[in-house]
Amino acid sequence: MAHNLSDVLFGGKAGDVALIEATDAGVRSFSYGELNRRVNALGRGLRARLGERGFRVAVLARNSADYVVIYFAVMRAGGVVVPFNWRAGDEAVDFLLRDAAIDMIFTDDAERHGRRPGAVLIGSEAWEALQDEGELDPAPVAEDDIAQILYTSGSTGTPKGVPLSHHGQYWAVEEGAKLVSDPGSYRVLVAAPLFHMNALFNVKRTFRAGGSLVVLPGFTPAGFARAVDTFRCDWVSGVPTMIAMLARHLGDEVPSAFARVRFLFIGSAPYGDNLIAEARRLFPGAEIANFYGTTEAGPTVYGRHPDGRPTPALSCGYPLFQENLRLVAADGTLVEGEGEGTLFMRTPATMAGYLNRPEVSAAVLQDGWYNSRDIIRQDAEGFHYFVGRVDDMFISAGHNIYPAEIERVLEQHPAIEQAIVVPVPDSLKHEVPAAFVVTRGGVALQESEVKEWFVAQADPYLHPRHIFAVPEIPLAQTNKVDRTRLKAEAALRSGRAQGANHAA
């Protein structure tokens, strides 16, 4: 038998603080004993309503302490929890409910989701009626029993359900918890949405290590900074845009508590030296990790070098388990030594296949190996670096172009804080790179000067044909960069620019 994934809640002592919820309405704090009591009460209610095992429960809600309780209660009771983007359109939500065969919905949105059949509004009379105080032994599970289904749209825009097992996710959490050397003082801040793998992994790892978790409803620079300061968080995480927004919000007024942060995870998108410099300014005592993971194969991929060599600033790290990954070059051979190739992974956390999508599953899985479609470069010491996604690649005049390559170069410019590159249509070259940049202190840029500087740094065919200065990079609902929105805006802006040039 395998561990029920809810067993991670037994990692802390009953009287220790497990969870802090910080909202505009106030702060709620829960010990491990109280959190387990609430999980048991809801789990008992779910069993009474939906049966002993196999039921599926969707969560369409903002981050909260109640969300955390629901997440673990469903699994402890023997069900499958299905977190989903609560801000998704009705058509996408309707698809989820059908695709995952949902038996019950928990939501905090009375108007949009509370009226759906099987919906229970968090905090309502129906919610209270589900609570059944008492002990609850975690449901026994086998190695391949599913704990959760996470939905990912990837680059296709069509939601794909990723069923993940109790055994595989517990393995990933166990390995991740080994990073924590002193769990008694381990306080983690989570502002990313709890329907996303990144946030859920941080939640489970924190509890397995016996630390305490601070949950925010969502990310704002002011709220994030206030939480780090107020609750003395020592592990924080964010995507590059979040760190850039935080730096701009704080300016030179960095709270003293930031100096006690010991670990900063930056993930879900590539970044350059300028962002690293800003991160080190904000968190001078922190070890900074370029976090890499996928929903399909889990977050436990890279770590520290076994010989203690320092991880280069822009590296994802050193493979935790060499036998669990391989790089496949364009000619189909395995990369050994320096070189780059597509990353394949096979770990206990890897999915067995997408929900109800056998053809898509067959395209990315072979003998248990998951094709990430991410291009990774390996250096002479064995460290890995993210080059770009195959799905983001575009062709310009016969050249394969990965946006991340251009972004890293642009972010070395002394006046550019952050850059995002997207393709725009071109009548001669099919597509060309366009860059959205955020400048340091909002200084003005000369597009021609930046292009000339870029060509001196990298191959000329990579240089962005259009450069648009913006006050900030927009985030999608997952807190990742909203590239779809930027592609549309780039096409519109570049069209205007071409029209002006033709008129001239």
pLDDT at 494: 83
Average pLDDT over residues 413-438: 89
366 plus 449 within the same structural domain:
no
pLDDT at 48: 96
Last residue of a domain, one of 391, 419, 435: 391
In a domain, 446, yes or no: yes
How many domains does the chain divide into? 2
Closest among 216, 199, 189, 194 to 61, alpha carbons compared? 194
Among 159-173, 219-233, 298-312, 388-402, the least confident range? 388-402
337 plus 414 within the same structural domain:
no
pLDDT at 213 over 90: yes
In a domain, 437, yes or no: yes
Among 37-51, 56-70, 386-400, the least confident range? 386-400
414 plus 332 within the same structural domain:
no
Longest dimension (CA), the chain: 77
336 plus 402 within the same structural domain:
no
For 424, other C-beta atoms within 10 Å of its C-beta total: 23
pLDDT at 500: 42
Last residue of a domain, one of 365, 391, 417: 391
Confidence band of 477 (pLDDT split at 50, 70, 90): low
420 plus 495 within the same structural domain:
yes
pLDDT at 157: 58
In a domain, 499, yes or no: yes
DSSP, res 294: B
245 three-state secondary structure: helix
472 plus 439 within the same structural domain:
yes
417 plus 477 within the same structural domain:
yes
Residue 483's domain comprises 394-503
Residue 128: its H or E element: helix 125-130
Spatial contact of 236 and 374, defined as CB atoms under 8 Å apart: no
In a domain, 355, yes or no: yes
Question: What CATH number does residue 327 fall under?
Answer: 2.30.38.10
This prediction has a pTM of 0.86
409 plus 496 within the same structural domain:
yes
pLDDT at 73 over 60: yes
Average pLDDT over residues 213-231: 95
386 plus 398 within the same structural domain:
no
pLDDT at 195: 92
Q: What is the pLDDT of residues 151-182, one digit of tens each?
A: 986 444 578 999 999 999 999 999 988 877 77
425 to each of 65, 385, 397, how far by Cα in Å? 46, 29, 12
360 by Cβ neighbours in 10 Å (0-12 / 13-18 / 19+) ranks as middle
379 to each of 220, 363, 482, how far by Cα in Å? 37, 29, 30
Average pLDDT over residues 321-339: 93
In a domain, 345, yes or no: yes
346 plus 399 within the same structural domain:
no
487 by Cβ neighbours in 10 Å (0-12 / 13-18 / 19+) ranks as middle
Average pLDDT over residues 421-442: 88
In a domain, 483, yes or no: yes
Per-residue tokens: 387: 């080059």
pLDDT at 269: 67
Closest among 81, 58, 76 to 5, alpha carbons compared? 76
Closest among 52, 66, 55 to 104, alpha carbons compared? 55
385 plus 416 within the same structural domain:
no
Last residue of a domain, one of 330, 358, 391: 391
In a domain, 354, yes or no: yes
In a domain, 444, yes or no: yes
Per-residue tokens: 346: 């096979």
Spatial contact of 228 and 257, defined as CB atoms under 8 Å apart: yes
Confidence band of 255 (pLDDT split at 50, 70, 90): very high
Among 20-29, 185-194, 387-396, the least confident range? 387-396
Question: What CATH number does residue 423 fall under?
Answer: 3.30.300.30
Backbone angles phi, psi at 264, to 5 degrees: -125, 115
Strand partners, 80: 56
pLDDT at 268 over 70: no
386 plus 414 within the same structural domain:
no
Average pLDDT over residues 6-30: 95
Confidence band of 478 (pLDDT split at 50, 70, 90): low
429 three-state secondary structure: coil
Per-residue tokens: 404: 């991340």
Confidence band of 501 (pLDDT split at 50, 70, 90): very low
Segment of 231-240, 284-293, 313-322, 344-353 carrying the highest mean pLDDT: 344-353
Work out the percent of the chain whose per-residue pLDDT is above 70: 96
Q: What radius of gyration do the chain's Cα atoms show?
A: 23
For the four alpha carbons of 191, 196, 198 and 201, in that order, the dihedral sign comes to: positive
pLDDT at 22: 96
How does the average pLDDT of the chain come out, rounded? Answer: 90
